[in-house]
Amino acid sequence: MEDLLSYTSLNKRRIENICSLVNKLESKYSSLSDYELSKMTDRFRFYLRDGKTIDDIMPDALAVCKEAIKRKIGLVPYDTQVIAAASMSDNIIAQMATGEGKTLVQILSSYLYALEATKDADKSKWGSVHILTANEYLAQRDKVQNEAIFNLLGLSCGYVEDKSNSDKPDYLKKKQKAYSQDIVYATAKTVAFDYLDDNQAFDIRNKYINRELYHAIVDEADDILLDQAVTPLILSGTMPGLDIVGTIDLANYACYFVNGVKGYRNRPVTCTLADQFEKNIDTKFGDSIIFKDTLRTFLSDDLLKEIYGDKDISHDISLQEELFNKESAITNAVLAKYYYKRNKQYILREIGKAIDTDGKVKKVFEVALVSEATGRVMPKTKYRNGMQEAIEAEEAFLADGKYIIKRSTKNIEKSTITYPEFVRLYKTGISGMTGTSDIEDFKDIYGLETYEVDPRIPSARKDEETELYSKKEYKYEAIVRDIYERHKKQQPILVGTISINESDELCSYLDRYKIPYQRLDAINHKDEALKIANAGKKGMITIATNMAGRGTDIKLEKGVEELGGLYVIGVSKNNNKRIDRQLMGRCARQGEPGVTKYYQSLEDELVLTRYGKVKLIAFKKYYEDQKTKITNHRVIDMVDQCQITEEGISKQIRRIENQIHLNVFSVHRDKVFEQRNKILGANYKELIDIIVGIIKEYSITIVEDPTEVDKVRHLIDIDSCYDEDNLKYRNNIMSALFNKFKASKSNMDPKKYLEYIRSRLLDIIDSYWVSHLMYLEDMKSSIMNAGSFGIDTLTRFERDANKLFVSMNNNIRNEMLTYSINPYLEFGSYVINNSIGGDIGHEITH
Ligand code: ADP
Ligand code: MG
């Protein structure tokens, strides 16, 4: 019953109708010359300007685009592809199985959106349509492959490189050029980061994105939009004007120095732990010595000489400071390496996942201090004076890129954004394509409907029943037997695992039996496309983590169909059924044969959490010695329930987290970026207006909020402004501030003044935004860690966050005034106490 009301069933007739109109128009457009065909784009734009809608011109536009595809790459789009593209014209996710040809759907659909984006007679008002792919390789491949089609249609097409190319010459220019095209290929990650970067720019000419973001078409939409929905993209870096002890760069430097990393120091710094403080410190202790009872640390004279060199620095204050900072950082690094111990003074606590700079999703751990008295984690507590940063640097060094250590230097997260927040930037939103949709999630998180496109040829895939074993080891044995049997007759096999660890485990079994295989995952990702191309060959065994090689389809070698097609094995089920379906969908493309089978054991992670932990523990014991598969259906059903439970819980968590981002982070970010952009783009007069505006607004705040009064004492004689009448009081403050401001700028060159004040004001916004984000993140993680959500969780969060936001804005205004009135005040010499309520966190000294 429910299905009758789905978007698909309600719209099927209409969309199939469009498709048959497209087919009828085929001969009309195939008779046009290339030139005539390319002029059709202008004609469609004219119709749209003239009041026609995209629906009116859709059959003709799709027929024209279809013709262009045929002429340029020789493929004739199937009806299913036209249907998918037609459905997508209205912010829809088209669900289409792997191998059905979503790459051509992108082209058809983007053409429709591009017509609208470029319909204006004034070219400067044109927007771009972005085609967002799951990885860099696909963006590049699809751009090269499809550019000629768009050009024939009179549209320009570009490809945006990711950050890894940022040292290459002309990086900025190339990027700006790519963003100025009608159709832009990029990964979602690249565009999101470029957007964050643009909002840190100090010169408007350095912005990457220079055209309106009109619409985005997201390929492999489930991966980008659902799997990574609450994984924030984090733009990090250092900031100018901050005290240098405790910056990541310095902590890293000291850590490499102490560990003897090449290029920093040739050998590790040695250290002796001494029980008691001795007066006569001797270099017999090595490079350094730590006194355990006081934690006083001394560096040997030789080491100090290494750090300070033998230059005379007594007259150079800034060099003195720099070297002093270096010395303290190295002292901290010595303590971090030789004194502080993981699982003693602190633990690594998993706090989620994030996308690392190499584009891989990794686990994130924070260094959480443990009370040595109670053995419990001390929430929100950090070491001071660079010690926290030193421990984190040491842990990051030990992590060696396998996972991420959250670095807590105050100003490292310059900005963050999640995908649900990011896609709001597109004027007409997004649409997308996916092999496996989660209709409820797309609706819930993005408000997008799913259209389920029937496969061109009905699927011939055979899904075999899941096999359940008591122990992991019996499961692996069974999988290896299964692989061996299928491999004997040369059937290609794709084995999906949930993690690199699981791949490792399975591979050690395969090695033991000398079964050959190729591996594909975040570590073994070289030649990804080649490996996928070979995965459908006779006798090939491919061990891949679930996400690896997505977007490239597995073609079967001749003769493989007779062997039963590709055989897909899932080593264990995911905590989300959609990801299982994704793996299963990799075989049996376009009506080919294909078989899938999942394995499970009572020791699997999924079974051991929550539901299973309570319900299945007894069975685990009962079946302990059984090496053959478990056939009891009650147990099998309970194992299935584990997945359903996990899925439900993670959906609920994701929903809350997403709401927090959309209702709070996004709202605050939009306001801050808007203000920043106003300042960035202002000319002299506009800048003065902005400052005058600030004076007006802030004067009101001062009258309304007595706590603000003391904050302007250093600017004006506030007491003599006082008046019983609030309006008069306000006007007095306003004119006092204004006069002070007028006097300050009177003797300055306007141009110099403009540039100077502009960068000061931007600095102020940036540094407050960064700490605001940090507070929000802290507040968010304390809610998320608590794990149980009441009805008012979100309301409370919003209320507290907005309070912080108001207070941040007051501080920004106050500081902006301070600098506008005293433009040459040394940066950082005036700091407002911006602690709010006092419970944000506290620091301890070691
Ligand atoms: P998907 O992204 O849906 O998995 P792809 O776009 O990668 O599928 O296409 C799968 C394969 O089908 C490619 O080799 C492609 O060239 C081929 N293909 C797609 N559309 C057509 C078509 N209309 N006619 C012939 N081959 C097609
Ligand atoms: Mg694809």
3-state secondary structure 147-174: HHHHHHCCCCEEECCCHHHCCCCCHHHH
Nearest CA among 415, 413, 414, 411 for reference residue 243: 411
**Distance in Å from the first CA to the final CA of the chain:** 65
Give CA–CA dist 699/388, Å, rounded.
40
Distance 133 CA to ligand 2 centre (A): 9
Backbone angles phi, psi at 247, to 5 degrees: -85, 155
Pairing state between β 212-218 and 233-236? unpaired
Side-chain-side CA neighbours of residue 583 (13 Å): 29
pLDDT at position 2 over 70: no
Tokens of 227: 């799997």
* Residue having the nearest C-alpha atom to atom 17 of ligand 1: 101
Tokens of 492: 């290609």
Nearest CA among 642, 673, 640 for reference residue 768: 673
Residue pair 629/478 in contact (Cβ under 8 Å)? The answer is yes
* Chain-centre distance for alpha carbon 231: 5
Lowest mean pLDDT among 210-219, 369-378, 697-706: 369-378
Residue pair 597/466 in contact (Cβ under 8 Å)? The answer is yes
pLDDT at position 552 over 90: no
Distance 493 CA to ligand 1 centre (A): 22
pLDDT at position 654 over 80: yes
Q: What is the pLDDT of residues 470-494, one digit of tens each?
A: 999 999 999 999 999 999 999 999 9
Q: Which helix (H) or strand (E) holds 496?
A: strand 493-497
From the CA of 80, the nearest ligand is 1
Backbone angles phi, psi at 377, to 5 degrees: -70, 135
Any idea how long the chain is? 846
Amino acid at 180: S
From the CA of 98, the nearest ligand is 1
* Residue having the nearest C-alpha atom to atom 12 of ligand 1: 101
Amino acid at 156: S
Q: In 10 A of CB 568, how many CB atoms? A: 25
Residue pair 264/393 in contact (Cβ under 8 Å)? The answer is no
3-state secondary structure of 533: helix
Q: Which residues surround ligand 1 with Cβ inside 6 Å? A: 75-78, 81, 96, 98-104, 553
Concatenated DSSP letters for 758-792?
HHHHHHHHHHHHHHHHHHHHHHHHHHHHH----TT
Q: What is the pLDDT of residues 67-126, one digit of tens each?
A: 999 999 999 999 999 999 999 998 999 999 888 999 999 999 999 999 999 999 999 999
3-state secondary structure of 363: strand
Supply the DSSP symbol for 721: G
**pLDDT value of residue 241:** 42
Residue pair 114/129 in contact (Cβ under 8 Å)? The answer is yes
Q: What is the pLDDT of residues 222-277, one digit of tens each?
A: 988 988 887 788 776 655 444 444 577 888 999 999 999 988 898 999 998 887 65
* Residue having the nearest C-alpha atom to atom 25 of ligand 1: 75
**pLDDT value of residue 828:** 37
Distance 98 CA to ligand 2 centre (A): 7
Atom of ligand 1 nearest to the CA of 100: 3
Our mutation pick for probing the ligand 1 site, out of 66, 70, 96, 103, counting the most ligand atoms within 8 A of Cβ, is: 103
Supply the DSSP symbol for 275: S
* Residue having the nearest C-alpha atom to atom 18 of ligand 1: 101
pLDDT at position 437 over 50: yes
Distance 172 CA to ligand 2 centre (A): 29
What is the signed CA dihedral for 91, 97, 98, 103, rounded to 10 degrees?
-40
The three-state DSSP-derived secondary structure of 371-392 is CCCCCCECCCEEECCCHHHHHH
Query: DSSP alpha helices (H): ranges in 275-411?
Result: 301-308, 317-338, 387-399
Nearest CA among 373, 286, 376 for reference residue 338: 286
Distance 588 CA to ligand 1 centre (A): 14
Query: DSSP alpha helices (H): ranges in 347-453?
Result: 387-399, 419-422, 439-441
From the CA of 134, the nearest ligand is 2
Q: What is the rounded average pLDDT for all residues in the chain? A: 86
- pTM of the shown model: 0.73
**pLDDT value of residue 835:** 28
Our mutation pick for probing the ligand 1 site, out of 26, 65, 75, 133, counting the most ligand atoms within 8 A of Cβ, is: 75
3-state secondary structure of 273: strand
What is the signed CA dihedral for 225, 230, 236, 240, rounded to 10 degrees?
120
pLDDT at position 140 over 90: yes
The sign of the CA dihedral 619, 623, 627, 632 is: negative
Question: In this prediction, what percent of the chain has a pLDDT beyond 90?
Answer: 48
From the CA of 97, the nearest ligand is 1
Tokens of 721: 């402004």
pLDDT at position 540 over 80: yes
Residue pair 366/406 in contact (Cβ under 8 Å)? The answer is yes
Which residues does residue 463 pair with via DSSP β-bridges, in sequence order?
596
Give CA–CA dist 483/461, Å, rounded.
18
CA angle, 723 then 729 then 734, to 5°: 150
Taking CA atoms, 512 is separated from 507, 519, 523, in Å, by: 8, 16, 22
* Chain-centre distance for alpha carbon 159: 20
Residue pair 387/377 in contact (Cβ under 8 Å)? The answer is no
Choice between 831 and 195, residue whose per-residue pLDDT is larger = 195
